[in-house]
Amino acid sequence: MSDLLDEAICYRRELPIAVHRLPVMPDAERIDALNRRNEALLLMLETLESAPSEPEEGHEVPPELSRIERKLDLVLDLIFELLAARLQRPEAVPVCFNEFALQWPERKALPEGGWVEVDLYLHPLLPRALKVAGQVTDGSRCQIVFEGVSESVRNLLSRFIFRQHRREVARARERSQAD
């Protein structure tokens, strides 16, 4: 398992997580539903985190359109804040994950070889969780290998993790230059 977490950049952060034990591996219909949901969520996160693009030379954005965009951004921020305040998220714990696997501390050991579905809240203002199914590979350290994750979701998750890693590197660089 640790090999899978070593294969790619790991995202380490305290995040709200909920774990649901499953009696068996989820069926293909459930896996497809999770992949569609996760793809939409990760695309939404990518859009939320993307910097506004600069207009091409000679193609200025009309001021009216810029005002509408700022108003829409404000409305979305307010809606996300309201939803986040009403959402009862699970407790945040230290997690380490990449596009292949996830590890987190758990008070109760999970049975090795067992199946779980994990809800992982990636953004503080976004009320939707990434939902992944996986098989427990180390019950004492709560490590799972993701099962059935589509290539598209793996790529989007990898891009999300890379963006977070790049931000952490930039923050560390800023702190070192400030010292």
Residue 125 resides in a domain: yes
157 occurs within a structural domain? yes
Q: Which domain holds residue 21?
A: 2-49+65-178
In a domain, 19, yes or no: yes
4-18, 31-45, 58-72, 103-117: which range is least confident on average? 58-72
Asked if the structure places residue 59 within a domain, the reply is: no
pLDDT score of 108: 82
Average confidence (pLDDT) over 58-71: 79
- Region of residue 79 (phi > 0: left; psi between -120 and 50: alpha; otherwise: beta): alpha
Please tell me the distance from the alpha carbon of residue 43 to that of residue 77, in angstroms, as a whole number: 17
| Whole-structure pTM value | 0.80
Residue 35 lies in a domain: yes
Identify whether 155 is part of a domain.
Answer: yes
pLDDT per residue over 121-142, tens digit each?
998 877 889 999 999 998 778 8
If you average pLDDT over residues 99-109, what whole number do you get? 89
pLDDT digits (tens, 9 = 90+) for 144-161: 999 999 999 999 999 999
Q: Which residues of 90-117 are buried (b: 16+ CB within 10 A; e: fewer)?
A: eeeeebebbbbbbbbebeeebeeeebbb
What's the one-letter identity of residue 171?
R
Residue 51 pLDDT exceeds 70: no
Q: Is residue 140 part of a domain?
A: yes
pLDDT for residue 24 is more than 90? yes
Number of domains in the chain: 1
Is 89 a domain residue?
Answer: yes
